[in-house]
Amino acid sequence: MSNIDTTPVLKTEHLGITFGGLKAVEDFNISIAPNELVGLIGPNGAGKTTVFNLLTGVYQPTEGRIELDGQEMKDKKPHQMAKAGIARTFQNIRLFKNLTVLGNVKVAFNQNMKYGIFQAILRTGGYWREEEEIDQKARELLSVFNMQDAADKIACNLPYGQQRKLEIARALATNPKILLLDEPAAGMNPTETAELMEAIRIIRDKFNIAILLIEHDMSLVMSICERIVVIDYGMIIAKGTPKEVANNPKVIGAYLGE
């Protein structure tokens, strides 16, 4: 059966936000198809994280609109955006440091669980069945990242690269339509970075989701993204394939001007 659904999983129209007098993001238009891997790049302070904060309900836009799977997202709080299908990771690792690796993933699954508080307190059969299912799903997810053997380790004892991967696994456990990754390779060594990039490609294919990836390092996104959006001073200055973007004089100028 051919997939002829062309509704973008994420679409923004004239999205913008002003802090005081400063337009941190302005006229931001993007349309991401299901299963697309898109890079959002730009120099320091260009507005990339602010775009993520708008897309995840951390900030309310002062202009424009956001559509997720054809539905307008208006006045939504972060947990509502997450429930609607937008998951994210942060520039700084935000794991439950003292929980196990498995525990970190299970917490995210639990946010979507079906049984209610009374079943949890009374520990009915339904509760245990669902707990078992979550345990299994969490372990499967860890195995995608080759981390199944680390399931019982305490999160803060993992090497840095694995903590980053765990964050992504946790975000995936919320069953998103689109995953937003904010500089996932920040602080990684070249081997960890190469591994992570491979993992990102695999999860896109395996989970059939769209990914929007912020990256400061241009060469890194160039190698895995099909399409790249470049912002500078809060505005899109270029969009296109990695090759088109790399040869765009405005992009070269923005990066050289840093």
Q: Give the binding site for ligand ATP (CB under 6 A).
A: 19, 24, 42, 44-50, 216
Q: Given the complex with ligand ATP, which of 34 and 64 has the nearer CB atom?
A: 64
Provide the minimum distance between the beta carbon of 16 and ligand ATP in the complex, in angstroms, as a whole number: 12
Q: Measured on CA atoms in the order 132, 144, 150, 181, is the torsion positive or negative? A: negative
Q: Given the complex with ligand ATP, which of 50 and 162 has the nearer CB atom?
A: 50
Provide the minimum distance between the beta carbon of 215 and ligand ATP in the complex, in angstroms, as a whole number: 9
Angle at 150 between CA 148 and CA 156, to 5 degrees: 140
Q: Given the complex with ligand ATP, which of 217 and 244 has the nearer CB atom?
A: 217
Half-sphere exposure of 223 (CA within 13 A, CB side): 11
Q: Given the complex with ligand ATP, which of 36 and 183 has the nearer CB atom?
A: 183
Provide the minimum distance between the beta carbon of 238 and ligand ATP in the complex, in angstroms, as a whole number: 15
What DSSP string runs through 72-137?
E--S--HHHHHHHTEEE--SS----TTSBHHHHHHHHHHTT-SS-HHHHHHT-HHHHHHHHHHHHH
Provide the minimum distance between the beta carbon of 1 and ligand ATP in the complex, in angstroms, as a whole number: 40
